Amino acid sequence: MLLTTAGAIATMTPFCKSRHATPSALNTPEFLAAICDAQTIRKIGTDYRTTTNDESREGQLTDLLTAGLDQNKDQTQQITNRVKDDFASNRIMTLEGYVISVTEARQCALFSIQNP
């Protein structure tokens, strides 16, 4: 169990070097992408969609992620701030063992739909 996860850590390809479709601020959890590979982010996203049935579709997730965003400002920065707010207000989840923000979980979920 432990060694399986260990192997995954040792052999992972950084997210930024993997090939995936339509990278965007919405489907790219910026911080997680620096520490996880695409497969892990896909697993986190799938796990999130499984545990939250009402957020399992692409449109729902896009709406949730864009709600309240100022279209005239940098989306990535706004989402980064939202992630920080999530941690500050305890909107966090544990998925695939990662303690992450709800916004990050939604980004992963969107990624997993768009990059099955």
Partner 1 sequence: MHTDARLLPDNTHIEGDICIVGTGPAGLSIAMEWNHTPYKVILLEGGGLEYDDQMQDTYAGPETGQLYYPLKSTRLHYFGGTSNHWAGFCSTFDTMDFEKRDWVPHSGWPIKKTDLDPFYAKAQQVLDLGPYEYDVKYWQQQNPALKSLLPEDDPVVWNKVWQFSPPTRLGKKYGNDVKKSKNIHLYTYAHVTEIAANEGATSINNLTVKNFAGKTHTVKAKYYILACNTIQNARLLLAACPQTPKGLGNDNDLVGRFFMEHLEVQSAWLHLPQPAPLKLYMFGGIGGTRMRCELAIRSDAQAKYRMLNGTCSFAPWDLAKGMTPPIKMWSSDDPRKNEDSMRSMWHSHEGATKAEGYRVFELKTRIEQAPNPDSRITLSTDRDGLGMRRARLHWVLTPFEKYSMRTIYELIGRQVGLTAIGRIQLMDYLRDPDDHSWPDTTGGGWHHMGTTRMSDDPKSGVVDPNNKLHGISNLYIAGGSVFVTAAAPNPTLTITALSLRLSAHLKKVIQSGG
Residue identified by tokens 């432990």 is 2
Long-range contacts of 31-34 (CB under 8 A, 24+ apart): 31/80, 31/83, 31/104, 32/98, 32/100, 32/104, 32/107, 32/108
Contact in structure between 42 and 98 (CB atoms under 8 Å): no
111 near partner 1, rule: CB under 8 A:
no
Q: How many residues bind partner 1 (CB under 8 A)?
A: 24
DSSP bridge partners of 14 = 37
Q: Which of 26, 65, 83, 109 binds partner 1 (CB under 8 A)?
A: 83
Stretch that binds partner 1, among 54-62, 69-77, 91-99, 105-113 (CB under 8 A): 91-99
Calpha distance 35→41 (Å, rounded): 10
96 near partner 1, rule: CB under 8 A:
yes
Show the binding pattern over residues 9-38: x = contacts partner 1 (CB under 8 A), - = does not. xx--------------------xx-xxx--
Note the residues at the interface with partner 1 (CB under 8 A). Answer: 1-2, 5-6, 9-10, 31-32, 34-36, 83-84, 87-88, 90, 92, 94, 96-101
